[in-house]
Chain A
Amino acid sequence: MDVIDTLSGIAAGSRLDELRAHRPAAREQAQATYDALFSPIDASAMSLLERYAVAAFVAALFDVSAAEQHYARLLADADPAIGAVITEAVELGRGAGPYGSFRGELAAESQAGPELILPPRLADALGVRLAAALLHAHLLALHPRDSSRDRLQPLVDAGWSADGIVTLSQLVSFLAFQVRVVAGLTVLDAEGSH
């Protein structure tokens, strides 16, 4: 049983276990991605604590409760004080996505939405790297089409390397996938057999 099974409530030998076996590489490699993100062979570009904190933040924004609880627990086990700060940041960041602006002829489709603003007390508690990471993670999670070259500069200014920016982006984007697979499997499981 892998993390997606656990978060979706899938038991060995169940209908959903057998269903997932039809896409064996997708199943194994989703778990391999999780392992590469949370048990990396080299965490020098993004520390484990940074990974847990960003994951707990975006899993809560995505609002799939099994995933939210899983990543909150990983973070709380690693650093309960940062866990408490992330819980506060989540309440400031929640929103309904995807929103954001379009350019060119699509501008009329633009949908305004909130930007995350971290009060100094929370930003100080997180430190410059993690504060910048949360602001970027909020953009990626809820309004990714607002991305721009300029919006990467605060990460660079906060000390994020190119390698670190890629890992941060992959982590948020992978969670966007993982929580949706969990949500879909949970609906399928609740339906009963077909």
Chain B
Amino acid sequence: MSRLTTATEVASPPRFTQETLGWVPWVEPLDELDLTERHYQGLVQRPRAKNPYFRLLARDPEVLGARTKTDLDIFYNTADGLGRAERELGAAVASRSNGCVYCASVHSAFATHFSKRGEDVQRLLDDGVGADLGDEAWNAVRDAVVALTATPVRFGAEHLAVLRATGLDDVAVLDVVNSGAFFNWANRLMLSLGEPTLS
């Protein structure tokens, strides 16, 4: 059984973008016809079986299932805490910092969708994590996530104090930490198991 996919010529995105990109796997995903109930449990949402990235991660269904439910609570549990736009900003900042063009495309577009601040988001993509994102609240989230994404982790009391100064409570700070930390998980999978393509 071949483990890696057949190499094909892909059109690589030349820069970070908010446009929709494709993603092609380097490791062979499971065939949709071979998926069992155990795999569907891992996929959580059945339509994800159409997506080669999730069919690849379904090779370890228990880990995929737990990862997916972690993701959904961090980004979609909006009973309290940080706004959706700022959680997506956190994801986009981690992706820009690690260099995941695919993840950055998805989550920068979400950040723009929820904030209507497409120009601020585009500056993050064009100029990198040092860009001015337009106000203190966004710059504080950016600084916190960049510090959290660094190895060794640099996130400290000074970042927390700046987040506080922009009005974030405990739950909102937890959301900053969770969204930035989660994309340190997601970026490594998308970067190392396949590559982005212009769709």
A residues engaging B (CB < 8 A)?
15, 19-20, 22-26, 28-30, 32-33, 35-37, 40-41, 45, 61-64, 95-98, 100, 102-106, 109, 136, 139-142, 144-145, 147, 149, 151-153, 156, 160-163, 165-167, 169-170, 172-174, 176-181, 183-185, 187-188, 190-191, 194
| Contacts known (A20-B174, A162-B28); A184 close to B181, Cβ less than 8 A | yes
Residue of A nearest to B3 (CB): A162
Given contacts A26-B77, A151-B192, A181-B178, 7 further A-B contacts (CB under 8 A): A22-B174, A36-B65, A140-B188, A144-B99, A156-B4, A170-B64, A170-B189
Residue of A nearest to B30 (CB): A162
* Residue B199 at the chain A interface, CB threshold 8 Å: no
B179 to chain A, nearest CB (A): 10
Residue of B nearest to A26 (CB): B73
Q: At the interface, is chain B mostly helix, strand, loop or mixed?
A: helix
Contact of B148 among A32, A106, A172, A180 (CB under 8 A): A180
| Contacts known (A30-B70, A166-B56); A145 close to B14, Cβ less than 8 A | no
Pairwise interchain contact A97-B150, C-beta atoms closer than 8 A: yes
Number of chain B residues whose Cβ lies closer than 8 Å to a Cβ of chain A: 70
In the A-B complex, list the 7 residue pairs whose CB atoms are closest, starting with the nearest.
A184-B177, A145-B99, A104-B14, A25-B73, A180-B181, A177-B185, A36-B62
Pairwise interchain contact B60-A36, C-beta atoms closer than 8 A: yes
B182-199 interface bits toward A, Cβ cutoff 8 Å, 1 = contact, 0 = none: 101111110111010000
Q: With a CB–CB cut-off of 8 A, which chain A residues contact B74?
A: 23, 26
Contact of B62 among A40, A61, A173, A183 (CB under 8 A): A40
Q: With a CB–CB cut-off of 8 A, which chain A residues contact B185?
A: 173-174, 176-177
Inter-chain CA distance A145–B190, complex, in Å, is 10
Identify which of B159, B160, B184 gathers the most chain A CB atoms within 10 Å of its CB.
B184
Pairwise interchain contact A19-B171, C-beta atoms closer than 8 A: yes
Inter-chain CA distance A100–B99, complex, in Å, is 8
A57 to chain B, nearest CB (A): 13
Contact of A29 among B16, B67, B98, B193 (CB under 8 A): B67
Provide a sorted-by-A list of 18 A–B residue pairs whose CB atoms are within 8 angstroms: A22-B79, A25-B72, A30-B66, A30-B70, A36-B62, A106-B14, A140-B192, A144-B188, A144-B192, A147-B192, A163-B59, A165-B27, A173-B189, A176-B181, A181-B178, A184-B176, A184-B178, A185-B177
A150 to chain B, nearest CB (A): 9
Residue of A nearest to B184 (CB): A176
Pairwise interchain contact A23-B77, C-beta atoms closer than 8 A: yes
